[in-house]
């Protein structure tokens, strides 16, 4: 009978995710030699090879791929046992891993962290900012407790809780402030600056103006809303930002913000977590704190 440890399984999962011993070791907060030894011992215990080792990157063997599916299920069950014990205490304490998408994190977190410290002083908050597909995956795998994203995500294993809604605003050079407010379809004829591919906010903006996601971009993509707004201030084009970002992103830029003519574009911000998580009731309490922060008035310009 194979004899292996939960720690070895976690190291193997990290290695499978990063496909690199160095990056897996860094993510696991151990040295690369220590992780390599544990993986080797796990293989010896199983009596078969889990990974094909190469100079720059590793690949899982066929057995390794099948083993990974079972390891993932085992580790999620172990995590839920820990969550079950925490839930039995009647309050949310200890480590709380929260994911947030980049078009929300800089504007909501400063207020949210303070409020959570007040409402849940025993909480050890860990925040991860990344794109929606990765957050969804990490919540499903138990690597995150919850995540704040734009809804819907439509994953049957996840609970979705709507928190608040907000409109999108047009950002254009200050010299254009007196021009009539455009409609969504007018954006297709403008030099529209967008976030790079992978951001759900990019897709939402393109959907509003009925533009194809594969439309030629001519180098007009940016990695952050800050970059896009500063490019607008420099006279390069126009962009669209969520209402919560207006105060932060436009205060030092030579731009003007306006609502659109006709139907207003927007999004619903919500939280997601695994339906099977024993801490679901506690997460609903956290969602209430997030909702209160998000419903604060956001000033336009």
Q: Which of 54, 85, 116 is the last residue before a domain boundary?
A: 85
Torsions phi, psi for 62 (to 5 deg)? -60, -40
CA atoms within a 13 Å half-sphere pointing along the CA-CB vector of 220: 17
**Beta-bridge partner residues of 273:** 159
User: Of 297, 300, 293, whose CA–CA distance to 108 is shortest?
Assistant: 293
pLDDT in tens, 31-55: 999 999 999 999 999 999 999 987 6
**CA–CA gap between residue 289 and residue 71 (Å, rounded):** 34
Asked if 38 and 123 sit in the same domain, the reply is no
**CA–CA gap between residue 213 and residue 195 (Å, rounded):** 12
Asked if 214 and 80 sit in the same domain, the reply is no
Asked if 252 and 300 sit in the same domain, the reply is yes
Q: Determine if the pTM surpasses 0.85.
A: no
Residue 1 lies in a domain: no
Asked if 59 and 99 sit in the same domain, the reply is no
Q: Which of 66, 85, 104 is the last residue before a domain boundary?
A: 85
pLDDT in tens, 200-227: 999 999 888 877 655 555 657 888 999 9
**CA–CA gap between residue 257 and residue 249 (Å, rounded):** 11
Task: Write out the DSSP string of 181-227.
Answer: PPPGGGGGGS-EEEEPTT-HHHHHHHHHTT--TT---TT-EESSHHH
Asked if 50 and 121 sit in the same domain, the reply is no
Burial of 9 (0-12, 13-18, 19+ CB in 10 A): buried
Residue 125 lies in a domain: yes
pLDDT in tens, 55-67: 677 899 999 999 9
Q: Which domain holds residue 53?
A: 6-85
How many other C-beta atoms lie within 10 A of the C-beta of residue 144? 25
Beta-carbon contacts of 76 under 8 Å, excluding residues fewer than 6 positions away, are: 141, 142
Q: Which of 55, 85, 115 is the last residue before a domain boundary?
A: 85
pLDDT in tens, 83-136: 766 666 666 778 899 999 999 999 999 999 999 999 888 888 999 999 999 999
Residue 102 lies in a domain: yes
What's the CATH code of the domain at 133?
3.40.190.290
Q: Which residue has the higher pLDDT, 3 or 84?
A: 3
Domain count within the chain = 2
Asked if 26 and 162 sit in the same domain, the reply is no
């Amino acid at each position: 009978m194979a004899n292996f440890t939960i720690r070895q399984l976690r190291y193997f999962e990290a290695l499978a995710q990063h496909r690199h011993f160095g990056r897996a070791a860094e993510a696991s907060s151990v040295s690369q030699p220590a992780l390599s030894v544990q993986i080797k011992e796990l293989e010896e215990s199983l009596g078969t090879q889990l990974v094909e080792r190469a100079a720059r990157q590793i690949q899982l063997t066929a057995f390794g791929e099948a083993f990974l599916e079972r390891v993932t299920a085992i580790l999620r069950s172990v995590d839920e046992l820990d969550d079950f014990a925490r839930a039995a205490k009647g309050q949310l304490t200890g480590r709380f891993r929260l994911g947030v998408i980049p078009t929300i994190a800089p504007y909501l977190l400063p207020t949210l962290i303070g409020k959570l410290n007040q409402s849940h002083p025993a909480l050890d908050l860990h925040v991860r900012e990344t794109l929606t597909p990765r957050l969804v995956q990490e919540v499903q795998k138990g690597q995150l407790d919850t995540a704040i994203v734009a809804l819907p995500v439509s994953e049957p294993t996840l609970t979705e809780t709507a928190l608040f809604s907000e409109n999108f605003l047009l950002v254009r050079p200050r010299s254009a402030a007196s021009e009539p407010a455009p409609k969504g379809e007018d954006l297709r004829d403008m030099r529209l600056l967008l976030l790079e591919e992978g951001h759900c906010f990019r897709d939402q903006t393109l959907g509003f103006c009925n533009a194809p996601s594969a439309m030629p971009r001519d180098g007009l993509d940016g990695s952050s809303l800050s970059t896009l707004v500063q490019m607008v201030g420099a006279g390069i084009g126009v962009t669209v930002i969520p209402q919560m970002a207006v105060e932060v992103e436009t205060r030092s830029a030579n731009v003007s913000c306006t609502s659109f003519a006709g139907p207003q574009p927007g999004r619903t911000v919500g939280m997601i977590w695994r339906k099977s998580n024993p801490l679901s009731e506690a997460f609903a309490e956290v969602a209430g704190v997030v909702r209160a922060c998000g419903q604060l008035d956001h000033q336009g310009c």
